Each structure stands twice: as structure tokens, then as C-alpha cells.
Amino acid sequence: MKNGKKPLHVVMFPWLAMGHIIPFFHLSKCIAQRGHKVTFISTPRNIERLDKVPSDIAHLLNIISIPLPKVENLPDHAESSMDIPYQKAQFLKIAFDLLETPLITFLENLSDPKPDWIVYDYASHWLPQRARDLGVSCAFFSLFTAATMAFFGPPQVLLNDERSIPEDYTVLPNWIPFETDVKYRLHEIKKNFEAPADESGISDGARFGGSIDGSDVVLFRTCVEFEPEWFNLVSELFQKPVISIGVLPPSVEDLGRSSNDTTWLSIKKWLDMQNQSSVVYVALGTEATLSQTELNELALGLEKCGLPFFWVIRNQPKLNQEEPQILPDGYEERVKNRGIIYRGWVPQAKILSHLSVGGFLTHCGWNSVIEALCFGRVLIMFPVMNDQGLNTRLLQGKGVGVEISRNENDGLFTSESVAETVKFAVVSEEGETLRANARQMRGLFGDWNKNGSLIDDCVGYLMEKRGQKYSS
């Protein structure tokens, strides 16, 4: 290292969801680009889904594959949450917990050099103590906003599972000292309760609580300037060092990679034919599951809005197979001159960067929100599960998008509300304030220098504090 300090060796161990694995891998590359050794650990099928490591850092970024143990009720091919319906998530967590022994065995034998830090995810509640036994410092990497983590509460609340019914999540908890709309609607949090909570023997709340409580530092994928009140609050609630690493925006290199692949070229050709800021990009992530009624209303709403749209639909994993989502009769024929229905993976950041895109109809997963705001795209918000409802309230409060109106209790909505909300956000005079606010976010979310300096600060902290343990 230029400053004479010994380089770090950082181990990265994400939860088994692509929305977690990809940011962990992104951060791994950022740390390696600064001259430090990184060991990235996941399962074989998930590793196959990652981009190749850039050649200039291949000697510093070592990818390790540990087979996922077989578990009853989990299909053989399922190594990620995108491979299963969300009701089966607990079985994936059982398999994940069985990685503890092979992971620790690997870490015990990892001595060239010995790891300084292990950066881990919310599901690894067992990892901090095992790492401590090995003399390795622990960093919990939150891929959730500070607002979400503050709403979930301090570690002791999470460990004790103090909120036991969906209605508990529809009101502000007493540890939030200011007025805010950041809370769940009943239909959103009900979905989180649908999966059997006790199959793995430990709740998500207890996983979060243990992962935070056992950490020496908490890293956040967020900008303090975007949610300062929440960042300050979460620092108080966690009672330990909390660091913003920025939002890990897609880089010029990321956007340029595979720019000649046939998938992107065919999409770009269509986008190039559309007017500037006219296209509604629609994508609800890799895990969101819509009922047939919801799918129909969304489809009819996009048809009624009159705007060109590019809608990414993926098959939804069922018990042991994938079943296609069925659009209304004759739908694709009716919209073929104005709308594209795309089944499969797309380069989302590249699409959002295209000048023809005027708005993004999104489930408000934090990864997707970051990509949209990097390019200043106004959000049409349709939360489905997990933290998405909380993100939606936060973003609506920041004035960068508008939510499709739904029934509070059952989540029902109409095609008319879809059409009206899309037009309001993308083309109406009244929606210009939202569009201007979203464009302004490019200076925060899309500034690589600003975000890069936060990673520099984080790496500096990890170098300074390696080997030290935080005691509350």
C-alpha cells in the first residue's frame, strides 16, 4: 500500500438472494480496486449468475463456492430466493444455516493472509460469535435504508420479537421521535406473515437482531444526505459505529459491459425509436408475486395510460416448477405497437439510463430505487413485499414518486388507478415537481466521485479498526 499499511483481507458472505449477492459483489470489487484482498463466498449456482471479475483485480478477488446442503421441501436447483415462492423462504434459511460448519472450517484454514474482517448479511445471526472466536472483526452490511432499519428497531426489540401480529407494524413504534408516514399498510405486512415463520427455528427479527448486536460496525448502503434524520436515529438505536458507504451506483464500466450483446441491442433499438422521456419502464423484481387479478389490472392500466411501455415479466417459481403469468386475452396483440412485454433478464441499469425512459413503475426494492434515482427517473410505486412498503413511504415523503392507490387492507387496485398514476408521474403538468425532484437526485445517487469517497472512508475505517472489538 502507498501509505505503508498492510492491505486488508476482507471476507464477504451475503444472504442467498440476488438482490443481496449483487451489491455484496459490487462492494467486493470496490474494495479490491483499492488494493485489498477480498474472498467472496456463496453457493455454486449463485456464483454462476455473477459477472466475471475484471481482469485488473482478478488477483485480489477470490471467489469461493460452498455447496448448499440439501434440505427437505427445497427443490434441488433452489439456491436463491428467486428460485422459490416466498412462502418457502424458511427452507432456504434452513439450508443457509447449514453452511455454518463448512464456512467456519474454510475460515479456520484461511491463513494467507488471515482475514481481518468478515462482512455479512442479516440472515447470518450465528456468524458474529463464530468470527469472534477466530479473532476476526465483524461488519454487518445493511442493504436496507436507515429508515427501514430504524422502523424495525434496536437489536433487543428484534431479538425479543416484540411485534407479533401484522397490525403492530401499521403504527409508528415509540422509539421514532418524529412524525412520519414511514410504516406499513396492512396488506403489505400481511404478505410478510404468510410464510411459515418457525420452520428454521429463528425469526427474521431475531436474525436481524443477532446480526446487528454481534457486529463491530454496521455498514449502510445509503446516503446520509438522503435520509439524515433516519441515519442519526439508527446510529442512536444501534449504539455502535454506523457508516454510510454510499449507494454503490452502477459505474460507466458496468453500463458499458456487454453493450454489444444481442439482448441489449434489440431493447436499445426499440428505445431509440421512442420520444425522449416518454417510456414507462415496468419491472417488479425477481421475487414479487402477483395474483392473476393484480396482473390483469396492471396490464389493463398500462394499456389505458396511452404511453409506450417496456414491461419485464418473469415466470414465478411455484412448488417444483415455473408457471407462466397469463395476460388478458388478446392483450399482447392490442398493445404490440406501443408496448413491449419482455420475458427474462434485462440490463435494467442500461434501460433506465436511456433518454427515452420517462418513469419507472417499480416494487421499490432498494436496489431498483437506487438505479432509478442514479438516472433521475421518477418513480411509480407499487410495493409488494419485504421492505418495499417502507421504502415507498420514504420516497413519497422525499417527493420523487407517487404510489398507485390501493385498498389498505387487501391491496386491491384498479386499472384506472394504474393509468391515472402513470400519466400523473410521467406526463402531467402537476407531476413536473416530482420529475424535477427525481432529476435532482442524480447529483446524490449518480455521483461516482461522491460515492467513491464514502467507500474510501469506509476502507480507511476498516484498516484503522481491524483487530479491535467494539463493546457497547
Per-residue pLDDT reduced to its tens digit, 272-302: 999 999 999 999 987 778 888 999 999 999 9
CA 96 remoteness from chain centre:
19
Q: What's the rounded Cα separation, in Å, for the pair 316 and 84?
A: 8
User: Exposure string (b/e) for 87-126, b if CB count within 10 Å is 16 or more?
Assistant: ebbbbbbbbbbebeeebbeebeebeeeebbbbbbbbbbbb
In this chain, the answer to whether the domains covering 9-245 and 252-446 adopt an identical fold is: yes
- Residues 365-394: pLDDT tens digits? 999 999 999 999 999 999 998 999 999 999
pLDDT higher than 50, residue 321: no
Q: What's the rounded Cα separation, in Å, for the pair 436 and 392?
A: 18
> Hey, what amino acid is at 86?
Y
Which cell numbers in the block locate residue 148? 427501514
Mean predicted lDDT score pLDDT of the chain: 92
Question: Rounded to 5 degrees, what are φ and ψ at 385?
Answer: -160, 180
- 311's torsion region: left (phi>0), alpha (psi -120 to 50) or beta? beta
The residue with greater pLDDT, 319 or 403, is 403
Give percent of the chain above pLDDT 90: 81
What pLDDT band is residue 8 in, cutting at 50, 70 and 90?
very high
Q: What's the rounded Cα separation, in Å, for the pair 459 and 115?
A: 14
Sign of CA dihedral 120, 125, 126, 128: positive
The residue with greater pLDDT, 260 or 85, is 85
The residue with greater pLDDT, 277 or 203, is 277
pLDDT for the residue 76: 86
Q: What's the rounded Cα separation, in Å, for the pair 373 and 29?
A: 22
pLDDT higher than 50, residue 333: yes
Which cell numbers in the block locate residue 422? 402513470
Question: Rounded to 5 degrees, what are φ and ψ at 219?
Answer: -100, 135
Level-2 CATH architecture, domain 9-245: 3-Layer(aba) Sandwich (3.40)
Task: State the pTM of this model.
Answer: 0.94
What pLDDT band is residue 217 in, cutting at 50, 70 and 90?
very high
Question: Rounded to 5 degrees, what are φ and ψ at 358?
Answer: -105, -25
Span 78-88, average pLDDT: 89
Where in the chain are the domains? 9-245, 252-446
Sign of CA dihedral 44, 78, 299, 398: negative
Level-2 CATH architecture, domain 252-446: 3-Layer(aba) Sandwich (3.40)
pLDDT for the residue 325: 64
Sequence-ordered strand ranges (E) for 200-303: 217-220, 242-244, 279-283
pLDDT for the residue 4: 62
pLDDT higher than 50, residue 472: no
Question: Rounded to 5 degrees, what are φ and ψ at 141?
Answer: -105, 110
Span 47-57, average pLDDT: 94
Question: Rounded to 5 degrees, what are φ and ψ at 323?
Answer: -115, 135
pLDDT for the residue 319: 44
